[in-house]
Amino acid sequence: MWHGAMDDELARAAVQLASPHELRDYAVLADGMRGALMDPDGGTAWLCFPGWSDPAVFAGLLGSGGSYRVAPTGRFVSGGYYEDGTLIWRRRFVTEDNVIECREALAYPGEDDRCVILRRLEALDGDAALVGTLQLARDYGRQRGGHWRSEGDAWLCKTGEFHARWRGKGQTTVGSEASKLDFRLILRR
């Protein structure tokens, strides 16, 4: 069954992603209103919203709540660099049988109360499988996000005045907790 296989993939990925990293291993993305700290394992380790000085919605750096992670299903190593003159982070995941490139950026949406995290994934050496999870937790993990629901080609979540929308191609389900969105992506070369 698909859910069981996905749960196994997520559990294996979580074991690999559980260790903290040295600060120099993180990348910073910013859009002028806020910044995100991206860990080397494919996660957003820190993001305050709506601005720099507001409470975090992703606070994995502190071991607190909230996460947005996309990573290969198997073993991998990763590294990356900034595109010249930008805060666009180009990450590469090297797996046992593939190389996956991910371009990541924060895009200023023109409104202070919105945040857009862009991720573009590409398999360079054949098809690749990735798993991901998105769980919002406002105020450094003290307020879990609301329930995710599907609407057209997007997934929506609302908690209080806070609204979130996720769009991506792939199989997506609400996780074991209704506030957690799990997804599996197959990249075709």
Q: What is the pLDDT of residues 70-124, one digit of tens each?
A: 999 999 999 999 999 999 999 999 999 999 999 999 998 888 888 999 999 999 9
DSSP, res 25: G
Residue 127 near residue 58, CB atoms below 8 Å: no
Residues 76 and 71: their CA atoms lie apart, in Å, by 9
Residues 86 and 152: their CA atoms lie apart, in Å, by 33
Please give the pLDDT value at position 22: 86
CB-facing half-sphere around the CA of 73: CA atoms within 13 A: 16
Residue 16: which H helix or E strand, with range?
Answer: helix 2-17
Please give the pLDDT value at position 93: 96
Percent residues over pLDDT 90 in the chain: 41
Q: Residue 94 forms beta bridges with which residues? A: 77, 99
**pLDDT confidence band for 1 (50 / 70 / 90):** very low
pLDDT of residue 42 exceeding 50, the answer is yes
DSSP per position, 43-106: BEEEEESSSTTSPEEE-GGGT-S-EEEEEESS-EEEEEEEPTTS--EEEEEEESS-EEEEEEEE
124 backbone dihedrals φ, ψ, rounded to 5°:
-95, -25
pLDDT (mean) for 134-140: 86
Residue 9 near residue 131, CB atoms below 8 Å: yes
Please give the pLDDT value at position 179: 82
Nearest-5° angle of CA 14, CA 57, CA 45? 40
Please give the pLDDT value at position 144: 80
Please give the pLDDT value at position 175: 72
**pLDDT confidence band for 2 (50 / 70 / 90):** very low
Please give the pLDDT value at position 176: 65
